[in-house]
Structure formats: structure tokens, C-alpha cells
Amino acid sequence: MALLNPPELRASMMCVIVFYLAQCRGQRDERNRIIDAISPPSLTKSPQDHQRDANHNLVSAVEIGLAVRDGDRVVLSPASTRAASKGTAAITALVRQLILSEDLNTAAWGSQEGARDLTNALAWFLTFRPAEAPARMEGELPSVKSQQEADFGPRHSDDDASGWPISNSTRWNAFQRWACSLGFAWRSPSGRLIPDPTPAVRDSLPAVFESESTLDGRSFVTALGGQLPVLEFGAYRRFVEENWNRSSGLNENLSVATTDALRRLETSRHLTFEDRADAPRIARVDGTTFSHVSIGKAR
């Protein structure tokens, strides 16, 4: 399994599969019936090509854990059933949780197994300032190709991307859809992909704080990295950092993407930051610091 290939994989189609199965008796149905229901053969003149997308997404929905196979039938997981009762946002949050789970991210560097291709790409992309983030696979700078050559070395052939998180334009296109769907990026009016984990961070706050209302800065960023390991202090961010050519001095402060996300959540009153003089501080990329973070009530 790889989530950036085949390129037809997308969170939106997996949401449709979950919603369909949630309405079935026993939250299960035969594989062929599911594909026919979400991708009717009559929609196009080439139903086999059209239904291939649905089949790929159904297979991946099972592989990431949204559902399980029971012979010729597919059964929705209990977690997916609960998420379906709450709506699209809850299903998307579950997809993100499963993709970021440790079970899908045990492969070695350069492997396409599990979710490694997508989580490596997310961890790498979220280190860029918006103006420096790659805008296209090749061509005018900054490009995905040029940035990856700088970080991971040259690609020796089309089949050997030397551990690049995003090895070609097909996967870059798939990555852009995943990054937006999972709450780690958005598109500017010009179509450029902007690294921004605000929605993912916002959704993770209850799990970050658990029963606490205030955390010291180090505990907050550590817990946030535990929930979203593609961010600073997270296992998948460290995994990428261990395999790139950048100076370690570039990673001392929170990234622009994370800093901006925390600023937005402060403005919306999801979070409140304090800078106590007698406590250790966490530095943002703009040089400001905070020592404690409190969860608040959004506007």
C-alpha cells in the first residue's frame, strides 16, 4: 500500500464509502455492490476505468483500517460507524488519525509501504515558509524537485528517487489533495499549495490537553507532536530530519507553519499563551516565546 500511488486515492472518496456502509444493514455490504453504489457503471461510457477509482479507494479504506474484509463483504469498523454518525469532519479526523498511526508508519526510509510516503511528504512540506514552499514538481523555482535535491540529494533515475518523499508529478498532485483534505494545507487563489496545519491542530486540542486546561510550553508542543507526528517534536518529523541534508541549526524553533497555526488559534480563542518569566520557554520562528498554553473557548 502507498497513499500517493495510485493517484486516484483521496479522503473524499473514503468518506463516501464510510457513509454508504453506515447506512447498510449491519454496516456491511458486498464489495461489488459498494463499488456499483458509489460509482454507478452508467455514469460513463467506460465503467471499468471509472470504477477503478472506487475500487482503489475501497481497498485502501480497508488497508488503513476504516473497514475490514469479511470474505466478499466489507464491514465498517466501530470507529468509522461512530464517526459517520457525527458527519464528514469526524470521518476526516478519523482518516487523519489512522494515516498518522504508528501501525502504518514502521517502514524504512524510502519505502512506499503503509503511509510512509504521505507522512514523509507532509513532515517535509510543513517545514517550509509559504513563500518558499514548492509550487510545482519541476520548472520555475521553488519546485518540489529542486527542494528535494537540496534536502535529500539527486534522483538517479525515474525508478530511484533516493528516498524523496514525493518522487514525481503524479504523486505531487495526489499529495496536494491529501494535504488539503487532512487539514495540513490550503490552496491560494492562484492555486498554490500553502503549508498550514491549523485545522489539524485545532481538531487535536482536546487530545493534547486531555483533562488539563493549561500545559507548560514543552509539554504542549510534545503532546501536539504526539498527536500530529508530522509536526515539530513528532516522530515522523524527526524521521525526515534524520534523513535530510539540512543543518540541524535550522530546526531549533517552531516552523512558520506551526507558528502561524498557533497564532490563528490564539486569535480565534482556541488557545491562550503566557510568557512567565520564571519558566522555560518555547521559541517561535519570529523570535517570540511562550511558557504556558491554555485551551480556551472559541468565538
Q: Give the per-residue pLDDT at 162.
A: 62
Closest residue by Cα to residue 198 from 122, 238, 257, 124: 257
Q: Give the per-residue pLDDT at 293.
A: 97
Helices (H), the chain: 11-23, 31-38, 47-64, 78-86, 88-99, 116-125, 144-152, 169-181, 198-209, 217-227, 235-241, 256-267
Q: Give the per-residue pLDDT at 44.
A: 66
For the chain, residues with pLDDT lower than 70 are 44-49, 156-162, 248-252, 298-299
Half-sphere exposure of 76 (CA within 13 A, CB side): 27
Q: Give the per-residue pLDDT at 51.
A: 86
The model's pLDDT over 173-199, given as tens digits with 9 standing for 90+, comes to 999 999 999 999 999 998 899 999 999
Is the N-terminal amide bond of 134 cis, ω within 30° of 0? no
